[in-house]
Amino acid sequence: MRESVQAEVMMSFLVSEELSFRIPVELRYETSDPYAVRLTFHLPGDAPVTWVFGRELMIDGVGRPCGEGDVHISPVDCEVLGEVLIRLQVGGDQALFRSSTPPLVAFLDRTDKLVPLGQEGALADFDTHLDEALGRILAEEQSAG
C-alpha cells in the first residue's frame, strides 16, 4: 500500500496588493499522520518553510471560509470554486497565498483514495505519536537545561 501522496502546486505569494510572485509549494499527505497535510513553501532566497495543519481544514476551506488560529483558508469567491486564499499567521506576522482550486482538489481527492475522510482513526496510533512527541520534548528540555 502506498503510504503518501505528494503534489507540487504553483501559488502566488501576495506580498501586498501591488506585489506578488509565484512560488512552488509541495503538498504532502502521509498515512503515518492521517489527519494532517503538509505544505512546504519554497520562497526565493530562503530555506523552505513547512506548515502542517488538518486535512479537513483544507477540504472545508476550498468551499467556504474556515480556520481558527494560525491557518485560515477560504475561496476567493464562494460562488465559483476557482481560487483559494491561504493565510498563515505567526504572532503579528502573516503570509497570504493564492492558489488555483483544481490542483488542491485533485490532491485532496488522492488523499481520500489513500485514506477516506473519517477513516483516519484506523491508522492513527495516538499512543505511539504521544510517546514520540513526549520523548522529543523531554530531550529538548534536557539539552536546553
Write down all domains in the chain, each with its CATH number in brackets: 4-144 (2.30.31.20)
Q: What is the pTM of this model?
A: 0.78
Q: What local confidence, expressed as pLDDT, does residue 50 receive?
A: 93
String of b and e for 57-95 (b: at least 16 CB within 10 Å)?
A: bbbebbeeebbeeebbbbbeeeeebebbbbebeeeeeeb
The answer to whether 35 touches 121, Cβ cutoff 8 Å, is: no
Q: What local confidence, expressed as pLDDT, does residue 115 receive?
A: 80
Q: Which residue has the cell 510517546?
A: 131
Q: What local confidence, expressed as pLDDT, does residue 119 receive?
A: 64
Q: What local confidence, expressed as pLDDT, does residue 135 receive?
A: 72
Q: What local confidence, expressed as pLDDT, does residue 1 receive?
A: 53
Q: What local confidence, expressed as pLDDT, does residue 37 receive?
A: 96
Residues with Cβ within 8 Å of 89's Cβ and at least 6 positions away in sequence, in order, are 69, 70, 71, 72, 95
In the chain (145 residues long), the average pLDDT of successive 10-residue segments reads 87 92 95 92 88 93 92 87 91 91 95 81 59 72 70
